[in-house]
Structure 1
């Protein structure tokens, strides 16, 4: 084509020229997306490292840990795709990627939301096991969140099919925008998400509040250390944040979609909500792993102050032992297994008796009996890791 705007077939009329994209709008939208998505993306790797660091080999085989890793992988994948999509939109605004890329990002985000609520449900089941509640009470507790998740999956599959059909043809982006704004699938998903998250989070908060009131014991040998009740209060605050933050943004999603706000703003709200929900549940798991690691790695013995002749004696030290609220005696084996950690007791004859979260250790040495009260964490707390 020559410099005067002609071609071998003749001059190009203004109506036949391809539309020039609004570069300012594209750059503004892409930069917003990069700033939001990349900020969370840079924090995912340290969070994943912390998740592995504060976990044990046995804890890494539990469903709660596997689900957390999957949630981080999905969030990282979605973040990389969002970054790549935004960068491509800035560098090549006249050759945008097909709508299927946007649909794939949305599908990953929807599965992330369902996975986050599944993690909360697993936590609820870990503190309310079937053996503790019985079949009827367990079914009553878990039936609503399970039915909601099944309904959300069915709704998501139908929505994906509708979006895939709308994306076909040259008017795919326009058709997707119409489907996005007019169909009820998003409203169904976000309403079910609010109910699901609220139910599971409030049930979990009620459970740990009840357990904290009944099992809030202190250590007789280290009264200044963090008590079980204090740990429960901290866990309650974390669980409350897992409920308030996602629910607030889910309600914001419903408000903007019912008020027919610009779809770009809706996308930004959804992106922030999904990332914050993932960070909330994974951070709670990291915190629980940190507590469990500190409890299980405390040695059974510590050095006492030197005597007058300079000798250093060994005294019993506070340690963690799974408590079930009943009397248990562990005197036959010389090694006790606590999770994946093993404690070898350097005694000749030792008896450990536990009741209501307090372990009494009795050492028989030359006819003398020494009893030490030890604070313990119940077994269900370690299941949160």
Structure 2
């Protein structure tokens, strides 16, 4: 009995510890990195005003270059740093970086969710790297007026330990100019498989990146062009540099299930998936559109494409929720058919014109139909 009680205690302890202290090969990673919210600050001797001194001065992280440990709110020189997910963040100056080694399962796919906000008027580019894969994230466009932009990046682990890095590639006249980083989380992605009943993989968007439970921001999905097959939204490809937004049912109105996609980039963003089809066979594509009950308003339109067919679906939004389902038939012209969706217009919130938004998309399905 004593052994059994010890085993139960160890299991509970492992679940309550940060993932880096538990057995990563038996645990499903879904939460903050060690000190991923930067609330564990440096020792007084390791910081001069806001500048971190020493490679390991930021607990759980390795730093390179000019990195500041900053608090949210008004700053010297008239700056204001929005840090909506806590009290502190890391600011990366010219060519500065922070990194952390993470225990993972080799061969598995992971997504990183993180908050990134520019702090100067100049263009700022944040390079995110893990396991030999990287992407450059242009963050000059702010999609949330409160500085709460949250992004996702996916990678496939090539070994049991990977180095996750965030690097400011910009060089500005002011060496401290650079992005704010906060709330960095990781999630292991569940593999997807085709079934006879569901030709569309992850058509309800239920499998996606980590969503912060205490912040109603959603997650912006931007994929590196050369790594489309490694997506933070399994099964789907974001076709441009403008993001789509991954939203959850806790903070937004979602037609079905726990998640959906908000098309915030207008015609500059398309989300697509390539499915298996039989040439000359008929199929029916159905999907749901609406608004996420987040103040996004106006005459919305989602355009859908499959093979040679196109459908434009209108939706009048008052920003108070609601949705509609649309469908059309198409004839496959090859053994692979690309499904594509985008918003025809640009939208902002009713009471916040600095906050980009758009129609939501959910419950995408394709079924074979008889002639």
> For this structure pair, what is the TM-score category when the shorter chain's length is used for normalisation?
under 0.3
Q: Which has the larger radius of gyration?
A: 1
* Larger RCO (alpha carbons 8 Å, 6+ apart): 1
Tell me which protein shows more helix as a share of its residues.
Answer: 1
TM-score normalised by the chain length of structure 1: 0.23
TM-score normalised by the chain length of structure 2: 0.24
